[in-house]
Amino acid sequence: MIENQIVSIIVPVYNVQEYIKDCINSIICQTYKELEIILVDDGSSDNSLQICKDMAQKDNRIVVLSQLNSGVVNARKNGVNRATGKYIMFVDSDDYVNSDYVESMMKISNEFELVTSGIFVGNRKVFDCINSGEYDVDRLSPVIKNMIYAQDNISRGILSCVYAKRFETELTKKIFKNLDEDIYYGEDGEFVYKYIINCKKICVTNNCNYNYRMNNLSVTHKKHDDFLINVNRLYISLKKEFEKSTYSADLIPQLEKWIFEHIRIAPENMGFGPENVPIKFVLKCDENFVDKKIVVYGAGKVGKDYIRQIKKEKMCKEFIWVDKNYASKETYMEEHVCSPEKILAYEFDYILIAINNDVIIKEIKSELQKKFGVSSEKIISCKPLYIKEFYA
């Protein structure tokens, strides 16, 4: 355990009056007490700033900064510049953390410039693709080989989010000086990947103490006409940095794949109609669906692609769409996402699991059988067909 070292927790705040108190309380209640809590309000138009000020009156570890609205990167940068701790950790203002979030990170030796951990997304744990362990960062390191994408060329590498990580303050300040403040999509990755290639040693853990909250009002879920301009800025910024490193041969192909995936989702992020968005995951035509009632379980990218195909091809008699995170899902092609509990009141013939992850598929199948009493014969759980080019 690293003791008697101040950890600066930086929280960028923007129009989150509904969540910010829970977020701050989760930080205040940390088992590790040597904290500097820096709340940076980015020109909120709701009551967020006042809530931050009120909370600061109750805990002298809280510092409140306020700025005109200029984006999350600028807010984080102001927080980083103000930080006095030996280490920096980030928390997004609509999320919350378990009480041992900081302590679990501070149990790791100070020889590591970066410590990573997993995150909770709903009831699901999400981890880096690299196994937990201690790694040198060099040309042959799994860290470099799998930084953005794993070597299977499908799985994401080290989570690009700035939260659920422990950074050294000195290096963090150095990296933040050269970040592009106009990047609003992929901005976490710009920092994290630039930071990693400046590390000598990192520690990947299987801790999971950070809770990501789905918020449809966040920047990630908004539509942006200039989305492709943002993606181009992200590409140029990281490409320049990678070309200066000794890892360019490994990293630039990973970067190109990552940017290509951003370009692929550009139509949806720019607000194009669903009929003009490329389909990525294809549902095989199944004669078992004809004249049947279907439950589509999963409202992510796979689920959306399945819904489009089912509606267009009239593949079944009728269907309902369910997801554990139904409350945060938007209506898509005039279809609403319901709670899985709806299954209990629906006379279905089959449940189609619309997920592209074997572990999650197994978890959902087990839940359907144990919690809802669904027989395995009524569950269709094969992974979707993945194709690179297909247009509806």
Task: Show which of 200, 234, 268 is a domain's final residue.
Answer: 268
Residues 26, 128: one domain? yes
Residues 356, 248: one domain? no
Residue of 242, 297, 283 whose CA lies nearest to 387: 283
Task: Show which of 238, 268, 298 is a domain's final residue.
Answer: 268
Provide the pairing of β-strand 165-168 with 379-380: unpaired
pLDDT at 359 over 70: yes
Residues 209, 345: one domain? no
Residue of 128, 108, 119 whose CA lies nearest to 164: 119
Q: Whole-angstrom Cα distance, residue 302 to residue 321?
A: 12
- The structure tokens listed for 226 are 């200039």
Q: Whole-angstrom Cα distance, residue 272 to residue 145?
A: 35
pLDDT tens digits, one per residue of 171-183: 999 999 999 999 9
Average pLDDT in the 227-234 region? 93
Task: Identify the burial level of 301 via C-beta atoms within 10 angstroms of its C-beta, where 0-12 means exposed, 13-18 middle and 19 or more buried.
Answer: middle
Q: Is the pTM of this model over 0.85?
A: no
Residues 149, 57: one domain? yes
Q: Determine contact, residues 337/322, Cβ cutoff 8 Å.
A: yes
Average pLDDT score over the chain = 90
- The structure tokens listed for 337 are 């996402």
Task: Flag whether 2 is in a domain.
Answer: no
Residues 252, 309: one domain? no
- Whose tokens are 């362990």? That residue is 133
What crossing angle do the helices spanning 227-244 and 248-264 adopt, rounded to 10°? 180
Residues 68, 179: one domain? yes
* CA torsion angle 293 297 303 304 (round to 10): 70
Q: Whole-angstrom Cα distance, residue 131 to residue 30?
A: 27
CATH label of the domain that carries residue 337:
3.40.50.720
pLDDT of residue 74: 96
Helices (H), 197-247: 227-244
Residues 205, 339: one domain? no
Task: Identify the burial level of 316 via C-beta atoms within 10 angstroms of its C-beta, where 0-12 means exposed, 13-18 middle and 19 or more buried.
Answer: buried
pLDDT tens digits, one per residue of 297-350: 999 889 999 998 888 888 889 999 999 888 878 788 888 999 999 999 999 999
CATH label of the domain that carries residue 239:
3.90.550.10
Task: Flag whether 318 is in a domain.
Answer: yes
Average pLDDT in the 249-274 region? 87
Task: Flag whether 391 is in a domain.
Answer: no
Q: Whole-angstrom Cα distance, residue 278 to residue 242?
A: 30
Residues 53, 11: one domain? yes
How many Å is the maximal CA-CA distance in the chain? 67
Task: Identify the burial level of 314 via C-beta atoms within 10 angstroms of its C-beta, where 0-12 means exposed, 13-18 middle and 19 or more buried.
Answer: exposed
Instruction: Say which residues have a Cβ less than 8 Å from residue 2's Cβ, sequence separation at least 6.
Output: 106, 107, 108, 109, 110
pLDDT at 266 over 90: no
Residues 151, 183: one domain? yes
- The structure tokens listed for 110 are 């100070």
Average pLDDT in the 9-28 region? 97
pLDDT of residue 215: 67
What distance, in Å, lies between the first and last C-alpha atoms of the chain?
55
pLDDT of residue 392: 39
Task: Flag whether 275 is in a domain.
Answer: no
DSSP 33-95: --EEEEEEEE--SSSHHHHHHHHHHH-TTEEEEEE-S--HHHHHHHHHHH--SSEEEE--TT-
Give the residue numbers spanning the domain of 77: 7-268
Task: Flag whether 276 is in a domain.
Answer: no
Task: Flag whether 392 is in a domain.
Answer: no
Task: Flag whether 1 is in a domain.
Answer: no
Q: Range with the lowest mean pLDDT among 150-164, 207-221, 303-317, 365-379?
A: 207-221
Residues 68, 204: one domain? yes
**C-alpha distances in Å from residue 344, one per residue of 239, 375, 391:** 51, 13, 35
Task: Flag whether 157 is in a domain.
Answer: yes
- The structure tokens listed for 346 are 């629906």
Residues 83, 205: one domain? yes
Task: Show which of 237, 268, 299 is a domain's final residue.
Answer: 268
Residues 26, 110: one domain? yes
Q: Determine contact, residues 246/277, Cβ cutoff 8 Å.
A: no
Q: Count structural domains, the chain.
A: 2
